[in-house]
Structure 1
Amino acid sequence: MDHPNDTDQRLTDLEIKASFTEDLVDSLNEIVARQQQQIEQLTRELVNLRQQMPAPDAGQFRSLRDELPPHY
């Protein structure tokens, strides 16, 4: 059988771990929220950049070899 002191110590240890876990979850939640804001901002910027690009000609094929730098 456990002694009352052992049970109290185990309960205290669990409470401490729960407190640290709660702090960690709060921190991770803040990070995820901040990252979501960054993703939304980057998505808006990507949409803006795509709107600025000229529309490609449907009948014109562009080869990637045409875009290689001269040193290749």
Structure 2
Amino acid sequence: MSEHKELLERIETLEMRVAYQEQTIDDLNQTITKQWTEFDKLNREIAKLYAQMQEIDNGGSGEIDERPPHY
């Protein structure tokens, strides 16, 4: 009977470990998803800033430091 009890305890321990690991995997997945969302947002911002810099370098509209038309 003690062997049976020992096996049940081992199974219970394994079940608890699996449950903990599943929760950890879910938490990590959520973190990675948030990081990728932020990463994509930052990449879009960098591309936008790069395009603005290229426009300024190429003599574009140059909205920065441009005088209003009434001057």
TM range (shorter): 0.7 to 0.9
Letter in 1 for 2:20: F
The alignment covers a number of residue pairs equal to: 55
C-alpha displacement at 1:46, in angstroms?
Answer: 0.3
Distance in 2 (CA, whole Å) between partners of 1:11 and 1:40 is 43
1:21 is aligned to: 21
Letter in 2 for 1:12: E
Distance in 2 (CA, whole Å) between partners of 1:8 and 1:55 is 72
Distance in 2 (CA, whole Å) between partners of 1:42 and 1:55 is 22
TM-score scaled to structure 1, two decimals? 0.72
- Per-residue CA shift, 1:36-72, capped at 9, x if unaligned? 000000000000000110337xxxxxxxxxxxxxxxx
Moved over 4 A (4+): none
Residues 2-41 of structure 1: pairs in structure 2 closer than 5 A: 3-41=3-41
- The sequence identity of aligned pairs, in percent, is 25
- Per-residue CA shift, 1:6-38, capped at 9, x if unaligned? 000000000000000000000000000000000
Please list every run of 5 or more consecutive structure 1 residues that lacks an aligned counterpart in the other structure: 57-72
Please list every run of 5 or more consecutive structure 2 residues that lacks an aligned counterpart in the other structure: 59-71
What CA RMSD, in Å, does the superposition of the two structures yield over aligned residues?
Answer: 1.4
2:69 is aligned to: none
Bigger fraction of residues in helix:
2
Which structure has more RCO (C-alpha within 8 Å, separation ≥ 6)?
Answer: 2
